[in-house]
Structure 1
């Protein structure tokens, strides 16, 4: 069963392939994705990595959490489920223009 990790405080130059490369030393990387701002096209400074097993995920956390990457101390921990967002817009059924 895959284990999803949150990777935070990434330098903006880190991309998906660099994330895959850095985590592959600790096991099989199922996927690695740096989150990109849709307006600017730039990294938001965090991403997610899916490791093949919980043991591999824990090995990556133990080795990489707090590591300095290009002068930034990265955070690596188990990803939590996304919290539901509320407010900020019209209700889903309201299709009238503003």
Structure 2
């Protein structure tokens, strides 16, 4: 796995970034189709996707690390997600990182839940003006 990561780093830095700036390496996505996502809460506003990926990389192959940001201000909302290639790696990272300090803040790690169907949360649309009350002859 380490050889795969190193090959991916070399491909990324030679093809896309000839200057060799410190950017997150492009990991070769596995074709298994199944990934395991962790929810990370309590993130510092100074946390970046790179630092998040780096902190969790010691527990396995991180396929993706994202921090959720506010659309208006583009600032962190204080939580994010990390995708692992296997369930074992995700569980190990959850057990080890839950309650640890990252960028000066205690983080909380749990298995990410599936998105709720937003169609069930929507209120019904009104069907015209209200009906008059009383005698309408």
What TM-score bracket applies, with the shorter chain setting the length?
A: 0.7 to 0.9
Q: How many residues are treated as equivalent by the alignment?
A: 90
Question: Matched residues in 2 for 1:78 and 1:61: separation?
Answer: 8
Q: CA deviation at 1:19?
A: 0.7
Indicate yes or no: 2:110 matched with 1:83. Answer: no
What CA RMSD, in Å, does the superposition of the two structures yield over aligned residues? Answer: 1.6
Match of 2:59 in 1: 26
Is contact 2:99-2:107 (8 Å) kept? yes
Judging by fraction of residues, say which structure has more helix.
2
User: Runs in 1 of length 4+ with deviation above 6 angstroms?
Assistant: none
TM-score, scaled relative to structure 2: 0.61
Judging by fraction of residues, say which structure has more strand.
1
TM-score, scaled relative to structure 1: 0.84
Indicate yes or no: 2:88 matched with 1:17. Answer: no
Give the greater-gyration-radius structure (CA): 2
The runs of 5 or more residues in structure 2 that have no matched partner are: 1-33, 126-137
**What is the CA deviation profile of residues 24-68 of structure 1, one whole-angstrom value per residue up to 9, with x for unaligned ones?**
000000100000111011000000000010000011001100112
